[in-house]
Amino acid sequence: MRLSIIIPTYNNHISDMIRCLDSVYDTAYQDFEVLIIDDGSKASYQVELDQLETRYERLMVLHKAHAGVSAARNFGVQKAQGDYILFVDADDVVTKQFWRDFVAILQEENDWPDVIYGMVRSGEEEKIPDCLSMEETSIHSLQRLNGKEKRKLYRHFFDLGERASFITISGYVSRGPCARLIKRTLVQQCPFDEHVAVGEDMLWNLKILRKNPSVAVVLHVWYFYVKNIDSVTHACRPDLIEKHRVMLEELTKYGDSTLKMALWNKAFESLNELARAYFLSPQNPLSWREKVKEFNKMSYSYPFNELLENDVKMGGVKPLLKLAFYRAGLLLYVYKLKMMLHR
């Protein structure tokens, strides 16, 4: 069983990439290839990447013009030769447990499912050694999902009350593209949407499940996601408005009558993020009055208005209050107050 490990990168620290690769190569198993997809990084970093080909076996560094992480992953899939794909981000690490489970499944399972989901743990950089050395006491326990369970997973990717099935004390099934083994032919049918820049990973996961693949879950931590506080930007980003519009429009394609509340929540999440990253940014030159006017104009336009004014059955007081503030044009005031209280 040949595995292709695809690592997109764009101006990462070379030390992070080496840490990532060291975790990938920490196995006696050798039937895998590693494809580093450089998404148009600066020249000095490209040179550092090229030098890695002499340090690691079965490693290929491929350079392309900058087009975003989705395009980089799609490019990697085009070049991959493995039976299954594993996506890894350059500043994260693969656990030893992943390789233990991979080899065990390879030895014990003749009929592999199309997708096998492992779990992710997240934390600061100093927590990496603990996660890498962690060893599960149970065997890999490949749990194949039936139709009802796959529906729960679909709802989990919508973040709609299915947490108990896919979150344990150790980790969680991520809504990103990592910590899962996916048959290459399936990934080829479901490329990442390159024109979506917000929520693209969630949309890709939903697209995969809409193909009705055979699915299994292993409730062991396969991947450590490194929280990078330096990656949080406080720059004023007006382009986010259109990016969130596109994401919500695409997301409606994956919803149905049972997911109205999920779409409602996602619309409010987008408004909250837009308030934080653009309207309430210290770099935003608009006056407060202009900010409120523009925010309300945006939130009352498509697709926000259509999703928020949906006929949603809401339980509890909080959703009703959010909708009341939205309808009264007071939502930006609420978000500003929340930011002040959390400082």
Domain ranges in the chain are 3-230, 235-341
Distance CA 126, CA 1 (A): 34
Distance CA 39, CA 70 (A): 10
Per-residue confidence of the chain (343 residues) as pLDDT tens digits?
A: 899 999 999 999 999 999 999 999 999 999 999 999 999 999 999 999 999 999 999 999 999 999 999 999 999 999 999 999 999 999 999 999 999 999 999 998 889 999 999 999 988 877 777 776 667 666 667 899 999 999 989 988 887 555 667 888 888 999 899 999 999 999 999 999 999 999 999 999 999 999 999 999 999 999 999 887 554 444 678 889 999 999 999 999 887 777 888 888 889 999 999 999 999 999 999 999 999 999 999 999 999 998 888 766 666 678 888 889 999 999 999 999 988 887 6
CATH of domain 3-230: 3.90.550.10
pLDDT digits (tens, 9 = 90+) for 296-340: 999 999 999 988 887 666 666 788 888 899 999 999 999 999 888
Total length of the chain: 343
Chain position carrying tokens 């934390």: 123
Of the candidates 188, 182, 192, 191, which has an alpha carbon nearest to the alpha carbon of residue 213?
182
Residues 6 or more apart whose CB falls under 8 angstroms from that of 112 comprise: 1, 84, 105, 183
Give the tokens for residue 27: 């196995």
| Backbone phi, psi, residue 213, to 5° | -75, 165
pLDDT digits (tens, 9 = 90+) for 216-245: 999 999 999 988 755 444 467 888 999 999
